[in-house]
Structure 1
Amino acid sequence: MGHIIFVGLHFLRRNLILFAIIVLILASGKWIGNEWRQLQALVAELPALRAAHHDVQELRAVRADAMTRQLKQFSGATIQQIDAQLREIDRQIAAAQLTQEQGSMPLAVLGGHASMLAQLRQQAIRAVELELLRQARHYLLSARAHALVLDNRQAATTKREQLRLAHIQVYAQLGRARQELTSIQTQSGWLAGIPGTAGYRQVRQLRIDIDRLLLANEQAFRDFRAQQSLLDRLTLPAGLTTFHFDEQRLDQAVAALRAPLLRAESLAARSLLWRGYQAALPVLPLALGVLIGWWLVPLCVRTLFYFVLAPLAARRPPIVLGPVAQAIPCAALRSAVSLTVVLAPRTEMRIRPDYCQSQPAGVAVRTTVLFDWRHIMTSMAAQLWMLKRLRAVDHAEVVVSSTRDALVELALLELPAGASFVLQPRALAGILFHPDQRPRIRSHWRLGTLHAWLSLQLRYLVFEGPATLIVKGCRGVRLEAAITGRSISQDATLGFSVHALYSTVRAEPFLPYLRGRQSLFHDHFRGVDVCYLYEEVPRHSRLDRGPRSALDVLADASLKAFGI
């Protein structure tokens, strides 16, 4: 019963979790779909709307500036000139209204987004032009009214001046008549009062003229005062203001274009995908350039190295580490996963503990801290420290095999007395020698040789016999003769004869190197009685190890530089 309940709860929990995942996927998928559709709409609309709005604003500024300069010319124009310009503006307004009425927005919608956007742009441009013309017409009407007031006041002022001059003229005539009357009365004396005399007739006529002039003078003065009163009532109008467009009305004219732009910008402000798109858009060309450079630069460098550096290195003299020594038999080594090594009396074996699989009873086993105290760092880096030291009184068979790596195979390399062999300590699992004839290890530096720098191995360790080296390699170890010259991958090389002519040659063909399938250089060996040692599968090409980090690559390069 308890098991059934447990199974039921487990089934229920698993399906609830699956149901929650399905709901989450569906909900997030719907949200992502909406965001994606909004992003597509924004990518299609927002830049085009902004460009159209910018074009309309630029056109508005240009047209407004041109019309402002044109209207400045009518600040002091006559009524006839203003009326002519008003007729021209009325004609333009009528044409603009007709063009605006002919624009068909439904047909533009059927034509697609681009057609609708172009129609909105043209509609906004026509609305701006129409509003500019209307405001210009309103200004011209104000200028005409101002000019009319100025003309009326100027006419009234002219008439007042004429009345003033007429009053002065009548008053002057009245003064002359009075002077003449006084002169005649003085000349005629008492005769001027006797009817029928000439003096009397002259005096009488002058008095009639004076009475007439008095009436005319009073009438002229009254006319002048009346005109002055009329002129006082005609107030001087304020100066005509400089023409300025009403920006608010112009903004309303482009509302049809600005409304979708504001909606698109509001949608963009809320869209996470749009903000991400805007953030990534400026760096896309740079990112594309970096990506292209990421692929092209290594290819160019590889091509340069292959056709320039490699042929140059091939012409350099080879490395020779020592004179011709006792030849090492180049018979094929028999490598195996495990070997049975016969430990003769008075013979010592030093081997890494993880390679000593079994030994018979009676074998003296001790611990050796370092393989060679003269090469402390080399021994530690090659893991040749804390070794097992085995000695036997009688012949004893010791089984050696890797207890940690199933692909490692071992072989025995015999070094006769006087023989020398260059070996990387990483390939050494153990060594057999007579205690009275300890093998010597010598270091050879080659800092001034191009081959050493190209192979990244600046130091070479030479093992001198007599001794038997227990060498190891991935999936087997081979020893081959190189009399006529042999080439091999640098990663597979474990050692070679000390008198070998060692150099680096270009790896053929070109395409595998260009694709990174093989290295640029191979090790090349040649010489009489020369042999070289290599492992079947280079340790760096093993897939079961996984990708190596940059620190691993740097560590391997450093160890190789020191011959380890």
Structure 2
Amino acid sequence: MRLFAAIVAKFLQSALIVVGLMAVLFTGYLVVTYLWPTVRTLVEAPTQIDQIRDELGRHSREVEARETELEREGTLIAQIRERIEREEDALRGELEQSVKELEEMAARQQARVYETIEQNREHSTEALSAIEREYCSTWNPIKWVTCQRVRARMREFEANVERQRQALSQAALRVEENASAEARKLREDAERELERRTAQMQDELRLGLERFEAVEAERQRLAARADELLLEEQLLHKQHWLAIELERRWPGLLLAALLIFFAPFIRRTLWYFLGMPLVSRARPLQLMPASSKGEIQTHPSARTIEVTVPTGSSLSARSGYIQSDRLGARSALFFDWKAPNLSYASGLIMLTRLEAEADKSDGRLVSLGSPDDPDAYLMEICLDDHPGVVLRARNIVAVVGAISVTAHWRLTSWHAWATSQVRFLTFSGSGSIIVEGYGDVAGHTLEQDCCEKRMPLVIGFDTRLAYKTRRTATFLPYLLDPEREPLVVDVFEGKGMFFHQKNPTSHARQKRTGEHVANFFLDAVRKLLGF
């Protein structure tokens, strides 16, 4: 029942987050729509724009249809004009051909008549010449009388020939006049037929032009209406751009909000079922050989502890943690001036340094405690010629004695990448290191056995231990609340000690949204570099 209630509560929380994201996306819309008329206008504006777009598309299609009709009418008019010209040319050609044939026929008839007359005249002349040679060149009276009669008949014949010539000329003239009259009649008939056809085609052309002008006027009207609709659409876009943009983009905004919301769950699922099983099979990480010599021990933790600074040594502590007298205290910018970068990486900067008095053989007793968190516990880790312990920089409070800091990079270790930490800061040598934790701080000693601890609880570990990671046993608690149930569990094997706290979330303070956003990226880099 409790699990069901937790699932329902998580579902309701997720729904509220999605609704909150959508509310943020529509905040501008809600601010603008503070009056009902404006709301109604904003609601109706997209519909009006859709109607305008539909009408604009319909008018555009009508304009295209009218333009197509205009092109068709123009083609028809051009065809009519071409047909008129072609028929005029054909009629003129037929008329000219008919007139030419009539003229040629009249000329041939006249030529035949003239030729016949000339042939008859030549025959008559030859016959008269023969008779005159026979009868007129002699002194025979009878032949002379015959010659005179022949000459008289010759004159009559010539007169008849002349009359025939004149008659033929008149006949040829009449034929020519008839041919001309017939040609004129043909020309007049052809012209009348041409005029009739031309008038008919002109009527068709006029009707086509009238239809063309009507279609052009309709096209201009539709184009003007399209311009008006376009201006109206632009005006609506200008007045109600917010509502239009929201209506256009809300599916994408909702999808983006859902992706943003579900991205962590998807990433956690992939890491749990794909990433961590592969990481668990990787070789453990070991910074120092297990056979390295060195002693390590811890003292019980408390909110306030007393640390002994041996004679000839010094204590370097963060500002505000020294609660006893500060006689002879001085400031130190870096823990180790030879390695300022490692001092900064380990958080040992802007320190207060105290030295033990030389006249006291038992050293100097210094009281340490958290200046601003009553739930913070301090614990002293004592090293004696130790090869090193790995500590997180944010948990280090003070250092006593000859302690050196070294950085170890493990870029090829899958376990390092699983914990998002590829640089390990090790503290080695002889002396004491005071660490801070919350809820309680303790050290756990291993004797060739194995122990695991949730990653946020681990403060540090002995470099002689084999270190690896595995995924948490329960999926649903990790999926819903990774802060309470983290994915990675630290596993230590071998002989040595690791240090842990009991409640790292008790010191979490309320942060502003800006701090969360800024620290999200900064904490990732710090964790990667071992801070």
2:297 is equivalent to residue 328 of structure 1: yes
SS in 2 for 1:364: coil
**Structure-1 separation of matches of 2:517 and 2:259:** 21
Matching of residues 235-384 of structure 1 within 5 Å: 250-255=215-220, 257-270=222-235, 271-272=237-238, 305-320=271-286, 321=288, 323=292, 325-326=294-295, 328=297, 333-336=300-303, 339=304, 341=306, 349-357=315-323, 359=324, 364-369=327-332, 370-373=334-337, 375-381=339-345, 382-384=347-349
CA distance in 1, matches of 2:248, 2:117: 103
Unaligned runs of 5+ in 1: 1-23, 65-127
Aligned mate of 1:222, from 150, 166, 177: 177
Equivalent of 1:445 in 408, 428, 446 = 408
> Secondary structure of 2:88's partner?
helix
1:153 Cα offset (Å): 2.8
Conserved? CA contact 1:423–1:496, under 8 Å: yes
- Asked whether the 8 Å contact 1:153–1:231 carries over to 2, the reply is no
3-state DSSP of counterpart to 1:544: coil
**For residues 236-281 of structure 1, what are the alpha-carbon distances to aligned partners after superposition, in whole Å with 9 as ceiling and x for unaligned?**
99x99xx999976544344564444222212234432688999999
CA distance in structure 2 between the partners assigned to 1:459 and 1:478 by the alignment: 21
* 1:160 matched residue in structure 2: 99
Is the Cα contact below 8 Å between 1:501 and 1:526 reproduced in 2?
A: yes
- The alignment's TM-score, normalised by the length of structure 1, stands at 0.61
Equivalent pair of 2:452/2:489 in contact (CA under 8 Å): no
Equivalent residue in structure 1 for 2:354, among 378, 386, 389: 389
1:213 to partner: Cα distance: 1.5
Contact 1:364-1:391 within 8 A present in 2 as well: no
Quickly say closer, same or farther: Cα 1:443–1:154, change in 2 above 3 A: closer
Following superposition, the deviation at residue 549 of structure 1 comes to 7.3
Write the distance in 2 (CA, Å) between the matches of 1:152 and 1:414. Answer: 127
Distance 1:60 1:412, change over 3 A: same
Structure holding more strand per residue: 2
Mapped partners of 2:78, 2:528: distance in 1: 91
Deviation of 1:485 (Å):
1.6
Contact 1:424/1:461, CA 8 A, preserved across alignment: no
Does 1:486 pair with 2:441?
Answer: no
Aligned match for 2:435, one of 457, 467, 471 = 471
- 1:229/1:457 Cα in 2 relative to 1: closer, same or farther (>3 Å)? same
Cα distance between partner residues in 2 of 1:503 and 1:148: 105
2:327 maps to a residue whose letter is A
Q: 1: CA distance between counterparts of 2:414 and 2:492?
A: 16
CA offset at residue 34 of structure 1? 4.4
Cα offset for 1:488? 1.3
2:123 pairs, out of 183, 189, 192, with: 183
Q: Note closer, same or farther for the CA distance 1:215–1:528 as it changes in structure 2 (3 Å cut).
A: same
- Alpha-carbon deviation of 1:387? 0.8
| CA distance in 2 between partners of 1:228 and 1:553 (Å) | 111
SS of the residue corresponding to residue 328 of structure 1 reads strand
CA distance in 2, matches of 1:520, 1:548: 24
Q: Please tell me whether the aligned partners of residues 316 and 351 of structure 2 are also in contact (alpha carbons under 8 angstroms).
A: no
Contact 1:344 1:395 in 2 (8 A): yes
| Contact 1:494 1:535 (8 Å CA) reproduced | no
Distance of 1:377 and 1:132 partners within structure 2: 83
* In 2: Cα distance, 1:342 partner to 1:141 partner: 118
How far off is 1:164 after superposition? 1.0
Task: Classify the secondary structure of the residue corresponding to 1:406.
Answer: coil
C-alpha distance 213-517 of structure 1, shift in aligned 2 (>3 A): farther
What is the CA deviation profile of residues 304-334 of structure 1, one whole-angstrom value per residue up to 9, with x for unaligned ones?
55444433332233233353654636x8x54
Q: CA deviation digits over 1:392-411, x for unaligned, max 9?
A: 869998654333x4365022
Structure 1: distance between partners of 2:76 and 2:481 = 78
Q: Which residue identity does 2:123 align to in structure 1?
A: S
Could you say which structure has the greater relative contact order, defined with CA pairs below 8 angstroms and 6 or more residues apart? 2
Q: Report the residue type matching 1:367 in the other structure.
A: R
Distance 1:342-1:293 versus aligned 2 partners, 3 A rule: closer
Q: In structure 2, do the counterparts of structure 1 residues 221 and 42 end up closer, same or farther at CA, with 3 Å as the change threshold?
A: same
Q: What one-letter code is carried by the residue in structure 2 that aligns with 1:153?
A: R
**Equivalent residues in 2 for 1:56-95 (5 A)?**
none
Aligned length: 453
Mark the CA change 1:451 to 1:147 in structure 2 (over 3 Å): closer, same or farther.
closer
C-alpha contact 2:453 2:491 (8 A) present in aligned 1: yes
Q: Percent identity?
A: 16
Deviation at 1:495, TM superposition (A): 1.2
One-letter amino acid of the counterpart of residue 268, structure 1: E
TM superposition shift of 1:44: 4.0
Q: Are the counterparts in 2 of residues 486 and 524 from structure 1 also a CA contact under 8 Å?
A: yes
Letter aligned with residue 440 of structure 1: I
Q: Alignment RMSD, CA only?
A: 5.2
Instruction: Tell me the residue number matched to 1:174.
Output: 113
- Structure with the greater alpha carbon radius of gyration: 2
Question: What residue in structure 1 maps to residue 49 of structure 2?
Answer: 42
Measured against aligned partners, the alpha-carbon deviations of 1:140-165 in whole angstroms (never above 9, x if no partner) come to 65456445534543443243224313
Q: Is the Cα contact below 8 Å between 1:525 and 1:532 reproduced in 2?
A: no
Match of 2:425 in 1: 460
